[in-house]
Amino acid sequence: MRVKILGSAAGGAFPQWNCACTNCRAVRAGTFRGKPRSQTQVAITQDNRSWFLLGASPDLRVQIEATAELHPHDGVRQSPIAGVVLANADLDHVLGLLLLRELQPLRVYATASVRRILREDNSMFGMLHRIPDQTAWTDFASGAQFHLCNAQGEDSGLRCQAWSLGIHYPAYVTPERLSQLAPGEASLGFIIDSHTTGSPSGARLAYMPAVPQLDETLLQLLDTCDVLLFDGTFWSDDELIRIQGSGQTARQMGHIPVESILIKLAGLRRPRKIFLHINNTNPMLDEASPEYRRVRSAGWEVGEDGWQFDL
């Protein structure tokens, strides 16, 4: 399995257009010791020919253009992008679907609840259904393993298992719709296994960009993975409140702060551990900061746009 991080920031990216926090100001001034980042986007492949996107970020057009493997290779209208796997219905995770509307056959995987929010309540997503066979939607349930296939049903060799993590739907979902949705279908993480000629090759990736809580079962599962791409949104619980003077805590927004993750996940032995979905206010983005040094000395990496690895 090949994994590419196309974007590693939380919603709003880094710098964020309306933010003048210490980090964002330093990037604009050219004095920041670290890198700007686009919104979180990961792409995976088994055969280096057909790719699956984990989420579809608002920065997707630029992220695709920056990635040669995702450019058309055969014919005038074609894309190596075979499908998209959605973890939630957050705008910074689904808006990019609208950027894939140019009649390319795609398969989109989502929970039934996320599919209903997008397709039944938001008519703009009808642009993915202008012609027959444009977009094939496949529902998945938490816990069940499913094969990642292209729009024609051809198996990629990648197996995905969804893990229910959060119960909160985005603020744009109407109260009426909310009453019809299953809480366990709101926000998921994925464990992705690579299979070659039908049997597991042993390579295993965890993609968990929003983790509101951790239990012992999940911890054990994470220790079976080769690579973790894990929620690095906020350093501390009151980060936004201290910067803005008001707002929600990290935990209220569905994110365990990094300073707690470093402690809770300290016992993991197997995986390479990478933070992504990093908010622009997070002090660990600054490579000269004590927070960055703490992350690195705890064996974690701060993910960057453009990173690639083979499992």
Q: Which two tokens stand for residue 157?
A: 């060799």
Instruction: Please enumerate in sequence order all residues whose Cβ is within 8 A of that of 140, keeping only pairs 6 or more positions apart, or say none.
Output: 109, 110, 111, 146, 160, 162
CB 243 → Zn ion: shortest distance, Å? 8
Residues in the chain: 311
Span of 75-83, 85-93, 114-122, 277-285 interacting with Zn ion by CB under 5 A: 277-285
Task: Report the side by side order of strands in the sheet with 2-7.
Answer: 135-139, 106-110, 81-85, 51-54, 41-45, 2-7, 308-310
State yes or no: residue 24 binds Zn ion (CB under 5 A): yes
Span of 11-19, 114-122, 143-151, 230-238 interacting with Zn ion by CB under 5 A: 11-19
CB 276 → Zn ion: shortest distance, Å? 17
Q: Return the number of other C-beta atoms located less than 10 Å from residue 77's C-beta.
A: 9
CB 24 → Zn ion: shortest distance, Å? 3
Span of 22-30, 134-142, 170-178, 230-238 interacting with Zn ion by CB under 5 A: 22-30
Q: What is the DSSP secondary structure assignment for residue 127, as one 8-state letter? A: G
Span of 18-26, 100-108, 160-168, 266-274 interacting with Zn ion by CB under 5 A: 18-26
Residue number, 18 or 217, with CB nearest to Zn ion: 18
Q: Return the number of other C-beta atoms located less than 10 Å from residue 30's C-beta.
A: 6
CA neighbor of 231 nearest in space, from 213, 243, 219: 213
Instruction: Please enumerate in sequence order all residues whose Cβ is within 8 A of that of 114, keeping only pairs 6 or more positions apart, or say none.
Output: 86, 88, 89, 94, 185, 186
Residue number, 1 or 24, with CB nearest to Zn ion: 24
Taking residues 245 to 264 in sequence order and writing x for each that binds Zn ion by CB under 5 A, - otherwise, the string is: --------------------
Say how far apart CA 37 and CA 54 lie, in whole Å.
17
State yes or no: residue 19 binds Zn ion (CB under 5 A): yes
Binding Zn ion by CB under 5 A: which of 6, 9, 21, 274? 21
Residue number, 13 or 311, with CB nearest to Zn ion: 13
Binding Zn ion by CB under 5 A: which of 280, 282, 305, 311? 280
Element (H, E) at 116: helix 112-121
Per CB under 5 A, residues contacting Zn ion are 19, 21, 24, 280
